[in-house]
């Protein structure tokens, strides 16, 4: 383990909910819950104002509504969150070539690898400047942990929440960890925590006192050895630069179990088409088609078929998914369906177009792209208006959906830089109302800085690309 706290862990504060508050002036300082709003929906993120009422991520949405009935409940805008996440990741990549994203709102950075920091003082300065630049670029806050290992840096960022920075100095780790709950350590969930508690082990110091042999007896060789090492603050895992995607997939969970086999088949075809759009959007193709089915009893089945080579042809992927569905018993109902493609490549093996059964009405010349038939647009009366999503009205401008039902949609007209806006209600088929792209949150660009010097080629936090 290194001798300076030069591994940084960034965790954006209540990221999805904070993005919604930043883009909607009327929600700032209010309880906001983001997640699936259907009967089986769960909370993705809750703002700190909502957490006061006991709402937290992974909680069933029905329970959240009972705890905080007056909160704003919004459907996620993942495309928007990803765009903002990329701006944050640009700031991290300006610090070091070794950035390991864990999710849209969380990442490790090896500051030594980029020369941005070499000791506690320089690491602290970089961490503070990073937090300031994240606020300048996005208007959001992030918490930073700095330590000599990934495990400790993540623990430090948790202690720093919200909107703070904590440095764990090398040599102080054991004393800091000792009184903490065993649940603090990675890999100790509710079941393992209860198992240790029943054995009289509730804190990390008690893990050390119990000894490695006892941990192995209680948890098995691999888990016991690993947990004992972490209790001693031993963690030599390197920060690993982000890897290329290994698969592209889409899935849907249904509010009501699907029993009709024909409907199941149609859903699989629709998911296959969505998966193809994602593949093509990323410039990828793949060899292995994967079908995922979660049945009425929560049992989950996966089936896969590997082709002769990579493809992004919708007919090939649809028919492979249909063949896989033929091998699955859906009697009793289906709760979730998913279609994915793995074995990715950035090219397409042309002869795979012939794998689709039968001849398709698609005419191509030697250099022509496959004909693309535009998706049929829904009738005005059939349009959906997810809560929290952006709209534009011909007369009133940009706004967002507060709610919809009974043929009506309620919209609050405001923008990230405006005062809280007025609310108006329209018919769902109002021709002057249409879905819109989110407005950007970017406030400014960070000022360049050479940062602390840590040897030849040292770099500090640089301005993100526009």
Taking Cα atoms as reference points, which of 4, 275, 248, 228 lies closest to residue 113? 4
Residue 26 φ/ψ, nearest 5 degrees: -70, -15
Catalytic residue among 20, 49, 100, 106: 106
Length of the chain: 466
Is 265 buried (19+), middle (13-18) or exposed (0-12) by CB count in 10 A?
Answer: middle
Query: Which of 347, 337, 336 minimizes the C-alpha distance to 279?
Result: 347
Helices then strands, counting H and E runs in the chain, come out as: 13, 17
* Beta-bridge mates of residue 253: 336
Residue 453 is a catalytic residue: no
**Largest distance between two CA atoms of the chain:** 74
Query: Whole-angstrom Cα distance, residue 102 to residue 81?
Result: 15
Residue ranges of alpha helices (H) inside 389-451 are none
Handedness of CA 79, 84, 86, 89 (dihedral sign): negative
How do 142-147 and 165-167 pair as beta strands? parallel
Q: Which of 85, 120, 104, 107 is nearest to 8 (CA)?
A: 107
Angstrom distance (rounded) from CA 389 to CA 391: 7
Could you tell me if residue 220 is left (phi over 0), alpha (psi between -120 and 50 degrees) or otherwise beta?
left
Residues near 148 by beta carbon (within 8 Å), at least 6 away in sequence:
1, 2, 3, 4, 5, 6, 7, 168, 170, 173
Q: Is the dihedral of CA 240, 243, 247, 250 positive or negative?
A: positive
CB atoms within 10 A of CB 427: 12
- The CA distance from 58 to 36, in Å, is 10
Q: What are phi and psi of 310, to 5 degrees?
A: -70, 145
Four-residue CA torsion sign, 215, 217, 223, 224: positive
Active-site residue list? 106
């Amino acid at each position: 383990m290194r001798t300076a706290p030069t591994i940084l862990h960034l965790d954006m504060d209540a990221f999805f909910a904070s993005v919604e508050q930043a883009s909607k002036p009327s929600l700032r300082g209010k309880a906001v819950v983001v997640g699936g709003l259907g009967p089986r929906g769960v909370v993705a993120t809750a703002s700190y104002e909502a957490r006061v009422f006991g709402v937290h991520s992974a909680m069933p949405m029905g329970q959240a509504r009972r705890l905080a009935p007056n909160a704003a409940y919004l459907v996620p805008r993942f495309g928007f969150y990803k765009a903002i996440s990329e701006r944050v990741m640009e700031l991290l990549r300006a610090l070091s070539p070794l950035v390991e994203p864990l999710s849209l709102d969380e990442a490790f950075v090896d500051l030594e690898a980029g020369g941005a920091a070499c000791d506690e003082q320089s690491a602290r300065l970089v961490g503070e400047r990073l937090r300031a630049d994240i606020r300048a670029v996005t208007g959001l806050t992030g918490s930073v942990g700095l330590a000599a290992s990934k495990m400790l840096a993540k623990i430090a960022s948790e202690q720093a929440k919200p909107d703070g920075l904590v440095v764990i100095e090398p040599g102080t780790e054991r004393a800091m960890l000792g009184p903490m709950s065993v649940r603090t350590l990675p890999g100790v969930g509710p079941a393992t925590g209860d198992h240790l508690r029943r054995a009289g082990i509730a804190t990390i110091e008690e893990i050390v006192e119990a000894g490695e042999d006892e941990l192995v007896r209680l948890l098995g060789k691999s888990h016991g050895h690993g947990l004992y090492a972490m209790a001693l603050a031993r963690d030599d895992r390197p920060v690993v630069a982000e890897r290329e995607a290994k698969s592209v997939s889409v899935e849907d969970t249904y509010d009501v179990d699907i029993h009709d086999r024909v409907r199941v088949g149609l859903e699989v075809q629709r998911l296959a088409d969505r998966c193809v759009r994602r593949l093509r959007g990323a410039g990828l193709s793949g060899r292995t088609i994967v079908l995922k089915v979660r049945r009425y009893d929560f049992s989950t089945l996966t089936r896969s078929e590997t082709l002769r080579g990579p493809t992004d042809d919708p007919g090939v992927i649809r028919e492979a998914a249909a063949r896989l569905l033929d091998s699955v018993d859906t009697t009793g109902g289906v709760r979730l369906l998913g279609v994915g493609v793995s074995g990715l490549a950035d090219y397409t093996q042309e002869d795979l177009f012939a794998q689709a059964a039968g001849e398709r009405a698609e005419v191509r010349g030697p250099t022509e792209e496959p004909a693309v038939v535009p998706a049929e647009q829904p009738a005005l009366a059939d349009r959906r208006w997810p809560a929290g999503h952006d709209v534009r009205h011909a007369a009133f401008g940009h706004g967002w959906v507060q709610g919809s039902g009974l043929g009506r949609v309620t919209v609050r007209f405001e923008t990230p830089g405006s005062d809280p806006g007025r609310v108006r209600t329209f018919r769902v088929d109002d021709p002057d109302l249409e879905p819109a792209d989110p407005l950007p949150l970017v406030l400014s660009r960070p000022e360049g800085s050479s940062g602390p010097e840590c040897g030849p080629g040292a770099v500090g936090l640089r301005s993100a690309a526009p």
